[in-house]
Amino acid sequence: MTPHALISSDFHSILKPFLHLAKMAGFLPVAWVPKGQKYSLKRSINSWICSYVLGGILFALSMVGLTEDLNSAPIRMKNPVVKYIIMIDLGEIVVTVLAGILTSPLKLSYFWKMLAGFGRIEQVLPSYYPPEEKNRCLWGVVIFLVLASSVIFFDFVVWGLSVSDLGVFFKRFLTVYVSYFLIFVQQIPFCFFVRLIRLKIEDLNGAFRAGLERAQNMENQWISVMKKVKQQKVVLTYERLNDFMRLVEEIEEVIEAINGFYGVHTLFILFSCLLHLVVTPYYLLIEVINDGYLPFILLQIAWIILHLIRLMVIVEICQRCIDEYQVTTNLVLKLLTSPILPDIKEQVEILAVQVSNKKIKFSSFGMLKISRSLLTSFGGALTTFLVILFQYGGIHGNIY
């Protein structure tokens, strides 16, 4: 695999905001330069060094601050019974960000493979990205980050009001809050690329629907030439049937590359969601049972909602992509029962076997399959761990 990727200018215009976001956060040490009508993306040594320096500083300062709060004049770890739970809760944030920063440069071969796969898909199905689609993606990211920033700021205010020396509070927890923001940034590129592959599958399904409609209308020559019509909707044609068979292979390879590049990210992010959805309800119930501080109770509710949104965004984006591919399978099977020419019936049968056997999946190292079934597993785990926490930490005392 070559240590670079070449993408079209249209594709680059879609990727650019997300490339900048991931690069500034330290999760994508690449640089891009125009090359004719395309853009060349390469590994950037300077960005690599800067991302490692950023990760090292955040990790070192955060762990020093948390250790200091654990051992002397605690601010957030005043409750001696659950202070180690709080330490794990906050420390996991820093570790998740550090793991993402450290592994991204080592996984860039998957990133090039992913972009190359998108390029080959565009050769078969030329992309059309309407302005409203671009705006929808950008507004989704902005709303997600504003929501995360608001809850982080609320947390900062609630805890900041409890201390007499804001300087000490800044010293101990400022980098933790920065890491907390980055952990939300970390999952955005993964969600974006999964959404992008779903749009490609939708384009493929649009082509199959057009062909199916012609076949059902007894237009036996529904397979002849592939052409783009108004707004670049695609009409299925005869010469392109083999291209669509190859397209199914490309989609699978792109998804494997996404899983490979973001495997560590998704593993730690999902573990982060699980941990926080165990610990935060525990904090909330402790405060409610002991008539705790109302703003802190509201803060825990806000955190629970935000972590649920984090989890649901990842799960639903992957599930919708899987569902769209199931639509592909159904459309191909419908073609088998349509009045198509005998000489192409065999090709459709091969395509039907191909799409039926290739079940796409999003996972982290093959250990966690990201779909709605994950929510069931998380639900059982949350109940179990909450019971363990109550047995270990009890229900007396306040966290705040």
What does the pLDDT read at residue 223? 43
Q: Identify which has the larger pLDDT, 193 or 123.
A: 193
Q: Identify which has the larger pLDDT, 103 or 135.
A: 103
Q: Which two tokens stand for residue 75?
A: 């601010």
Proportion of the chain above pLDDT 90, given as a percent = 45
pLDDT at 183 over 70: yes
Q: What is the mean pLDDT of the chain?
A: 85
Asked if 14 and 21 touch (Cβ cutoff 8 Å), the reply is no
pLDDT at 346 over 80: no
Q: Which of 151-160, 240-249, 252-261 has the lowest mean pLDDT?
A: 240-249
What does the pLDDT read at residue 103? 94
What does the pLDDT read at residue 130? 65
Report, in angstroms and rounded to the nearest whole number, the Rg of the chain calculated over CA atoms.
25
Q: Which two tokens stand for residue 119?
A: 């390029």
- Report which DSSP code applies to 79: -
Cα gap 331→208, rounded to integer Å: 7
- Of 381, 382, 392, nearest to 304 by C-alpha is 382
What does the pLDDT read at residue 234? 44
User: For tokens 């399959």, what's the residue?
Assistant: 369
Residue 103's alpha-carbon distances to 110, 264, 279, in angstroms, are 12, 7, 27
Q: Which of 78-87, 125-134, 151-160 has the lowest mean pLDDT?
A: 125-134
- Which residues, in sequence order, are CB contacts of 114 under 8 Å at separation 6+? 193, 254, 257, 258, 261
What does the pLDDT read at residue 95? 94
Q: Identify which has the larger pLDDT, 222 or 196.
A: 196
Cα gap 114→250, rounded to integer Å: 10
- 362-377 pLDDT, tens digit each: 988 877 889 999 999 8
What does the pLDDT read at residue 57? 95
Cα gap 293→398, rounded to integer Å: 9
pLDDT at 192 over 60: yes
DSSP bridge pairs for 364: 368
Asked if 256 and 362 touch (Cβ cutoff 8 Å), the reply is no
Q: Which of 30-44, 51-65, 117-131 has the lowest mean pLDDT?
A: 117-131
Asked if 321 and 194 touch (Cβ cutoff 8 Å), the reply is yes
Cα gap 152→315, rounded to integer Å: 23
When pLDDT is averaged across residues 240-255 and rounded to a whole number, the result is: 86
pLDDT at 204 over 80: yes
pLDDT at 61 over 70: yes
394 in helix, strand or coil?
Answer: coil
What does the pLDDT read at residue 175? 94
Q: pTM higher than 0.85 for the full model?
A: yes
- Report which DSSP code applies to 303: H
When pLDDT is averaged across residues 184-205 and rounded to a whole number, the result is: 92
Q: Which of 47-51, 204-208, 254-258 has the lowest mean pLDDT?
A: 204-208
What does the pLDDT read at residue 349? 81
Cα gap 57→315, rounded to integer Å: 32
Asked if 191 and 314 touch (Cβ cutoff 8 Å), the reply is yes
Cα gap 257→263, rounded to integer Å: 9
pLDDT at 316 over 60: yes
What does the pLDDT read at residue 230? 38
What does the pLDDT read at residue 128? 63
- 13-29 pLDDT, tens digit each: 888 889 999 999 999 99
Structure confidence at residue 104 as a pLDDT band (50, 70, 90): very high
CA 268, chain centre distance (Å): 12
- Of 267, 139, 219, 186, nearest to 22 by C-alpha is 186
- 292-311 pLDDT, tens digit each: 789 999 999 999 999 999 99
